[in-house]
Amino acid sequence: MNHEGTDMENGVMIVDDNEHIRQSVQMICEFEELNLVCAASGEECLEHLQAGFRGVILMDIMMPEMDGWQTIREIVERGLYSGNLILMLTGMGQPDSRMDGLQEYVTDYLTKPFGPDQLVDALKYYLKLVQA
């Protein structure tokens, strides 16, 4: 778990058990000079939020133990959603019924593989919104 920058606000958090995805997002964010926090699991995501992270969260759906939907439910139930905005990362074409009741907390979807330009456009737009 990368603790660097866990106290920052208006950053980006990538939550994905796939190291390759985390590294790809890290490279893009470094190039664009966006502050990034990496979490390899839903638990790590919750730890970063409890440590004060606020910003845009890129959330993988398919993760072992706590998947993306369970993680979002925990974020909401623990009162950690405020000040954040969640974009789901998925390799699937369509979400399933586990999203019912969570629509209001999932602002957008990025389908893997996503291009750097698509990711940067989304991050810059949504970072502006969370900073408003």
Partner 1 sequence: MKAKNIVVIGVSTGGPMTLKTLFSELPPLDAAFLVVLHITPEMDFRIAQGIAASASMPAELARDAEFMKAGHIYLAPGGYHLKVEGNHRFALYTGPRVNYVQPSVDVTMFSFTRQSAGQLIGVILTGMGRDGALGLKHMKDIGATTIAQDQKSSVIYGMPKAALETGAVDYVLPPLGIAAKLVELLGRR
Rounded Cα gap, residues 62 and 86, in angstroms = 15
Rounded distance between C-alpha atoms, residue 94 and residue 120, angstroms: 22
Of 83, 91, 115, 116, the one binding partner 1 (CB under 8 A) is 83
Q: Tell me: cis bond preceding 113? Omega within 30 of 0 counts.
A: yes
Q: Of 2 and 107, which has the nearer Cβ to partner 1?
A: 107
Task: Count interface residues toward partner 1 (CB under 8 A).
Answer: 25
The answer to whether residue 7 forms part of the interface with partner 1 (CB under 8 A) is no
Out of 100, 115, 119, 120, the only residue in the binding site for partner 1 (CB under 8 A) is 100
CA distance 58 to 56: 7
* Shortest Å distance, C-beta 2 to partner 1: 26
For the segment 109-128, give every residue that binds partner 1 (CB under 8 A).
109, 121-122, 125-126, 128
Question: Does residue 82 belong to the site contacting partner 1 (CB under 8 A)?
Answer: yes
Instruction: Compute the half-sphere exposure of residue 4: CA atoms within 13 Å on the CB side of its CA.
Output: 5
Is residue 9 part of the contact set for partner 1 (CB under 8 A)?
A: no
- Residue 107 found at the interface with partner 1 (CB under 8 A): yes
The amino acid occupying position 83 is G
Smallest separation (angstroms) from partner 1 to the CB of 20: 24
Question: Is 94 a residue that touches partner 1 (CB under 8 A)?
Answer: yes
Question: Does 80 participate in binding partner 1 (rule CB under 8 A)?
Answer: no
| DSSP string covering 86-129 | EEEEESSSS--GGGTTTGGGEEEEEESSPPHHHHHHHHHHHHHH
